[in-house]
Amino acid sequence: MPGELQVDFEDIHRAGAGIASSAQALQAKVQAFQAELQRFGQPWGNDDVGSLIGMCYQAIYEVAMECFADNIGELAGQAEGVQAMAATYREAEDASAIEVNRVRDILG
């Protein structure tokens, strides 16, 4: 039937799991990136110019890590929302099937 809405809650659930997996993979990559940066130490030195560079680096690093954390958190939240939507569709379909069967039983 044209215009009919078809919802596959299993596909929606898998999509949510995929989003969650992406968030976890991104978190692992950020942690690996942080470890790599730490291995470099403080190559800018301790003189006046090096101290200024170090302060700039630290400020930029903190903003970048906060941005990464916020985006990863948002992805994880979206994954939960998509999986909740799949569960809601499943519950609605189950409830509809129960009601249709109840009406069929009544009508004989």
User: What is the domain partition of the chain in residue ranges?
Assistant: 9-94
- pLDDT confidence bin for 19, thresholds 50/70/90: very high
| Mean pLDDT of the region 43-59 | 93
pLDDT, one tens digit per residue, over 25-42 is 999 999 999 999 999 999
Provide the pLDDT for residue 81.
96
Distances (CA, A) of 18 to 23, 32, 74, 98: 9, 21, 14, 31
pLDDT, one tens digit per residue, over 20-29 is 999 999 999 9
| Mean pLDDT of the region 102-108 | 84
- pLDDT confidence bin for 102, thresholds 50/70/90: confident
Provide the pLDDT for residue 101.
87
| Mean pLDDT of the region 44-59 | 93
pLDDT, one tens digit per residue, over 65-101 is 999 999 999 999 999 999 999 999 999 988 988 988 8
- Angle, CA of 68, 77 and 58, to the nearest 5°: 15
Please, what's the b/e burial string for 37-55 (b: 16 or more CB within 10 A of its CB; e: otherwise)?
A: eeeeeeebeeeeeeeeeee
